A and B are shown apart, each in its own frame.
Chain A
């Protein structure tokens, strides 16, 4: 298996623009996590899906952020409009389940908003 795939790997955009980050889960995994990593705040869980259903979005910073799972193997994280403080590395991770199961992380998308 190719592992978790994220695209793009790097994104540079101007403030106010819409940004869409993409994630392809490992085949057979049913749990999907979106994280954001910054120097100041470390690794933060943004949202968790189980079987395509959002279970916990309490980590989503504000209404500018939205995430979807249109099917069992694919997810998007959208920021509209983007702001400089959204600059971070965004990771998605998938797993076979919860709690005891290892999370497999993608390589991340480095977002820079100018």
Chain B
């Protein structure tokens, strides 16, 4: 069985500040982990993914995430927030031999000027 927990349904940061969005997972098989972003009135698009290669994964728009098996975490970070980062972010888990993504409930990021 797999599950994802995103801590904080809403996160606000100042422009230029560090962005940290938290994701913890549980998985009975080696996990594959994803972060997606959803802008208003659009579908989800992939930011980055972890599929058992390097534990530090770099994605688009300056985002990165680190897979920490001991902490069962896959937190998303960006050193300096930009106004255009305001969106909803979803963490998802799948696993070897599965087809389903299990999505978290999402974190809405607000960037303050």
Contact = CB atoms under 8 A, between A and B. Distances in A.
Nearest to B96: A99
B106 A42 contact: yes
Nearest to B94: A99
B101 A103 contact: yes
Interface of A is mostly: strand
Contact of B43 (A50, A98, A108): A108
Interface stretch (B12-20, B45-53, B65-73, B77-85): B45-53
B43 A45 contact: no
Number of chain B interface residues as a range? 20 to 34
Interface in A22-52: 31, 33, 42-43, 45, 48, 50
A98 B45 contact: no
A55 B99 contact: yes
Contacts of B96: 99
Interface residues of A, number: 21
Nearest to A3: B43
B51 A100 contact: yes
B61 interface: no
Contact of B90 (A31, A43, A99, A108): A43
A99 B49 CA distance: 11
Interface string A50-78: 10000110000000000000000000000
A102 B46 CA distance: 7
Contact of B34 (A45, A50, A102, A108): A102
Contacts of A48: 99-100
A40 to B, nearest CB: 11
Give the 5 A-B residue pairs with the shortest CB-CB distance, closest first: A105-B43, A98-B99, A105-B44, A43-B103, A100-B51
